[in-house]
Amino acid sequence: MLDTLTAVILLMGIPGTPEPTPTEDAFPALRDAVHKIAIEWEILDTRETSYIFAKRSDFEADLNLLRRRYQDFKDAPRLDEANRLPERKIVNELIHFNRAFRQHLVERHHLEQDRSEIYEAVMIETDQLYRVWDAVRDARCEFYYTSVRRQALVRLKEMLGEEDYAAVNLPPNVPTWRWRE
């Protein structure tokens, strides 16, 4: 219990605040408590436990890494929110189409110089949509570390805005508003 409380206090500290290195006897229990809390708070991936807090000599550097993550992610979406997004396979197909469409625009841009401004505008819109869908892909990619996936959710929320993010109102993968009926 004391190790868990100590771990919470340590993780919530300000990055860069010096902390004494725990004794050799106290280090394993404290390391395990920090790992447990950091994983629960989604600031540490279970795969990172093999090298974060692996050595007592790296205590302060590793602690500062987790403190920065705590600060970065304390208001960030939790990983379970990624499950509301389309499956990665579908997202990959949408991104593949986005990139093929972009390449088509580049080719048309070279051929139709008189319409270069329009093609450039559509390429910019296509790239903006790519960034949204790339963030969706990163958030859904389960082999990425927790911190990468949560950062993708942060980017996605910033790009969509609060309301659209909450409603999972994703834009099309290409600027379909450019097509006339």
- Which tens digit of pLDDT belongs to each residue from 96-136? 999 999 999 999 888 888 888 898 999 999 999 999 999 99
pLDDT value at 94 more than 70:
yes
Give the global pTM: 0.89
Q: How confident is the model at residue 181 (pLDDT cuts 50, 70, 90)?
A: low
Q: Are 35 and 47 in contact (CB under 8 A)?
A: no
Q: In 3D, which of 177, 84, 98 has the Cα closest to residue 136?
A: 84
Q: Are 56 and 22 in contact (CB under 8 A)?
A: yes
The pLDDT value given to residue 93: 98
Question: What is the pLDDT averaged over residues 20-27?
Answer: 95
pLDDT tens-digit readout, 51-66: 999 999 999 999 999 9
3-state SS class at 166: helix
Q: How confident is the model at residue 14 (pLDDT cuts 50, 70, 90)?
A: very high
22-33: buried (b, 16+ CB within 10 Å) or exposed (e) per residue?
beeeeeeebbeb
Please give the residue that has the higher pLDDT: either 115 or 174. 174
Question: What is the pLDDT averaged over residues 36-42?
Answer: 98
Among the residues of the chain, which ranges form H helices?
A: 2-11, 27-40, 59-73, 88-111, 116-140, 146-160, 162-166
The pLDDT value given to residue 74: 93
The pLDDT value given to residue 179: 81
Amino acid at 89: K
Q: Are 148 and 138 in contact (CB under 8 A)?
A: yes
